Chain A
Amino acid sequence: MTDIPVIYFLWVSAFLFATGLAILLLKKNTIFVLMGIELILNAANLNLVAFSKNEPSLQGLYLSIFVLVVGVCEMAIALAIVLQVYRNYRAIEVDQFKSEY
């Protein structure tokens, strides 16, 4: 059985990273921006998994599990902050957060 070359995974992860970056810059809704950040995190994760594919000590796989945990924590905290910001400003778009003072 042949193996899938590492470079294929790298191409997919480069595409995901670029798409996440474009979403980050393009969208104004905060939740949309967070989804772009998730795409970037997952692109990095795919790189780690691809490089530990044929490596016996599996270090990349362990690191990617911890990246997954940290990504979930980031998402939970960020959505809580978005909720609180929405309560204070009645706005969800990044260019509408203006101080009244």
Chain B
Amino acid sequence: MSPLVIAFLVLALLTCGSALAMLWTKNLLHAALAMFLTMLGLAGLYVLAYADVLAVAHVLVYVGGVLILILFGIMLTNQTDPATGKNHLMTRESNRLLPISVGLSFFLGLFWVFTKGPWINNLPVTGGSKLREVGLGLLTEYAFPFELAGIFLLIALIGATFVAKNHD
């Protein structure tokens, strides 16, 4: 096995393991921390797929932005247990059998489709950083959607602050 494949296996194990931990735990804060590990593993997988620009953006956005938002959401919606006066951030679940069997059957179905699929596996290797190509493309060919994404982000953030403010 080449060192690249070993690195892939470690990162895939980190990603899948912490996703399973998210599924398993009932504690909301533990799930947020497991999501942090999942996002770090995914960024590593993006690097191995030669998408280093996306990996850096992913770490910045998810670990720096979305995770902080989720932690604020957890803090602002916490409920203390009236009996003990403590808050263990435990969440309720529905019956475990049905969701896990649905997830497992989706995984097996997708696994079967992906394994049977006629993917072309012997494409020429065009490894290395794509930073220059992506930067050029975002400012020339994809300039309009790029600007549109910026305006969309602005609208969404202003809208989020408006929705979240106290309307009394």
Contact = CB atoms under 8 A, between A and B. Distances in A.
A79 B49 contact: no
25 contacts: A2-B5, A4-B5, A6-B119, A7-B115, A11-B111, A15-B107, A18-B104, A18-B110, A23-B22, A25-B103, A26-B93, A26-B100, A34-B70, A35-B70, A38-B66, A46-B42, A46-B45, A62-B134, A64-B51, A68-B61, A72-B65, A79-B69, A80-B164, A83-B73, A84-B164
Nearest to B107: A18
B152 to A, nearest CB: 6
Contact of B19 (A4, A5, A39, A83): A39
Nearest to A19: B19
* Chain B binding surface SS class: helix
Interface of A: 1-12, 14-29, 31-32, 34-35, 38-39, 42, 45-46, 49-50, 52-56, 58, 61-62, 64-66, 68-73, 75-77, 79-84, 86-87, 92-93
B83 interface: no
A54 B160 CA distance: 38
Contacts of B93: 26-28
Interface string B1-27: 010110010001001100110110000
B83 to A, nearest CB: 17
B77 A69 contact: no
A7 B77 CA distance: 41
A2 B23 contact: no
Nearest to B133: A58
B82 interface: no
Given A19-B103, A86-B76, A93 B92 contact: yes
Interface residues of B, number: 83
The 7 closest A-B pairs by CB, nearest first: A22-B103, A18-B107, A73-B156, A25-B99, A14-B110, A80-B164, A26-B99
Contacts of A66: 145, 149
Contacts of A24: 99
A28 B91 contact: yes
B163 A80 contact: yes
A18 B99 CA distance: 10
A4 to B, nearest CB: 5
Given A31-B73, A86-B77, A42 B114 contact: no
A72 B104 CA distance: 28
A30 to B, nearest CB: 8
